[in-house]
Amino acid sequence: MPNVEHITQTVNRYLELVANGSADEIAELYADDATVEDPVGGGEVHIGRAAIRGFYANVENIKSKTELVTLRVAGHEAAFHFRLTLDFGNSGMRIEPIDVMVFDADGKISAMKAYWSPADTVKL
């Protein structure tokens, strides 16, 4: 099973890839049959690595920065608060979600849920 170091590294790698990586690279962090709900309650759960790749492909060309605010690793799961700053050229947006990730025995992300709502976004 994944240990604290592996989970911490994967969360940091995830945030690095969300800012500067490709949808393919992000999808590689997930298990084949993983699920992604982002945001929670948004009405859509992406099931399987292909669907997850598609979800990240929608945003991979937006210029962005990420910054980890707080990380808690417990058991085979992680909860973390991070700052995502999107740069659309003439305008920007900042979102600070709390994400929860569950890891499988191989250390891949088997489930991710992102807690945020449009009310939490700030226009820049």
- Which spans in the chain are helix H? 4-20, 23-28, 49-57
Name which of 58 and 70 has its Cβ closer to a copy of itself. Answer: 70
**Which one of 16, 28, 60, 96 is in contact with a copy of itself (CB under 8 A)?**
96
Query: With contact defined as beta carbons under 8 Å apart, do 36 and 46 qualify?
Result: yes
- For a copy of itself, the binding residues in 53-72 under the rule CB under 8 A are 69-70, 72
State both tokens at 120. Answer: 């939490």
44 touches a copy of itself (CB under 8 A): no
Catalytic annotation present for 32: no
In whole angstroms, what is the distance from residue 50 CA to residue 32 CA? 8
Instruction: Summarize as ranges the residues that interact with a copy of itself (CB under 8 A).
Output: 4, 39-42, 69-70, 72-81, 96-98, 100, 113-117, 119-120
